[in-house]
Amino acid sequence: MEIGRWIRKDLIVNVSPALEGDSWYASTVVEVGGQSFSIQTPCTGKIPVSIHSGNKIRVRVPTEEGLFLLSCEVLGEVSEPEARIELEFPKEVIHLERRAFQRLPIQLETQYAEIRNGGGLSFSRSTSLDISGGGMRLETNRHCPRETLLRVKFQIPLSQMEEELILTGRIVRSVPGEGARKSQIGVEFIDISPRQQESLVQFVLDRTREKSLPA
C-alpha cells in the first residue's frame, strides 16, 4: 500500500518513540515531501519527547481504510520556527484495524442539540459510551435518525485542567431503545480542528495507557 497518499498536512497521528512499549503521544503532520514527512515534536505536558536522528519510531496513521502502523527512521530534527522531526516514508506498513482512530470506552457527561435551519439550539443531557479522535457514541433518551446534525459539548481532563470541546457532528449510526434500554447514536465529528483533535487523541492515549498499567 502507498501510505504517502494518506499523509497530509494537519493530519493527527500517534507517535511512539520506541519500537516496543505502550507510550504513545499525539502529534500533527506539518509538511509532506516526496520521500519524507515532518511532524511536530510530540510532548508530554510541555516537555518534548526525546527522539533523535537515526532512531526508528512507530507512527499510527488514521486513513479512510482504517488505522495503519508505520516504522519510520528519523532523518533529522528542526527547532525553528517550531520543533519538528523529519521522518522517512517506510517501505512497509501494517494494517491494524478498520477504525481510523483508537476508541476509548468511557462515560462522559455530554450535552447535545439538533441543528435545525433557522432554529435555536435546545440541549439535552446524555452520557458517552465511548470516544475517539473522530467521533463518539452516546446513550440518549430519545431516538435521533441518521444524518441528523448535532452540536455536542463535553469536557476532558488534560494536564490537570478541564478542556471543554464544542463540536459539530453527524449521526452515522442510530439504534432505537427498547423497553428500559436507551437509544444509542454514533456521532462522527465533522468540524473538529487539528488542535481539538490532538487534545482528544492525547486524552484517549493517556487513558488507554493508564488502564494498561498494573494496579
Task: Give the pLDDT confidence score for residue 100 in this predicted structure.
Answer: 85
In the chain, count of helices (H) and strands (E)?
1, 16
pLDDT one digit per residue (tens) for the chain, 215 residues: 577 788 999 999 999 998 888 889 999 999 999 899 999 999 887 788 999 899 999 999 998 888 999 999 999 988 877 889 999 998 888 888 788 888 999 999 999 999 987 778 899 999 999 999 999 999 998 888 999 999 999 999 876 678 899 999 999 999 988 777 889 999 999 999 988 999 999 999 989 888 776 65
Task: Give the pLDDT confidence score for residue 91 in this predicted structure.
Answer: 81
Cell of 168: 459539530
CB atoms near residue 164 (< 10 Å): 8
Please give the backbone phi and psi of residue 170, each rounded to the nearest 5 degrees, phi first.
-120, 130
Amino acid occupying residue 203: F
For the chain, domains (ranges, CATH) are 3-97 (2.30.110.10), 104-212 (2.40.10.220)
Residue 166 buriedness (CB in 10 A; 0-12 / 13-18 / 19+): exposed
Please state, in angstroms and rounded to a whole number, the distance separating the CA atoms of residues 106 and 166: 18
**Which residue in 38, 124, 17, 115 sits closest to 83, CA to CA?**
38
What is the pTM assigned to this prediction?
Answer: 0.79
Residue with cell 432554529: 119
Per DSSP, helices labelled H in 86-214 are: 194-212
Given a contact cutoff of 8 angstroms between Cβ atoms, the answer to whether 183 and 142 are in contact is yes
DSSP 35-102: SEEEEEPPEETTEEP---TT-EEEEEEEETTEEEEEEEEEEEEE-SSS-EEEEEPPS-EEEEESSSS-
Cell of 107: 462515560
Cell of 3: 501510505
Distance linking the first and last C-alpha atoms of the chain: 40
Element (H, E) at 9: none
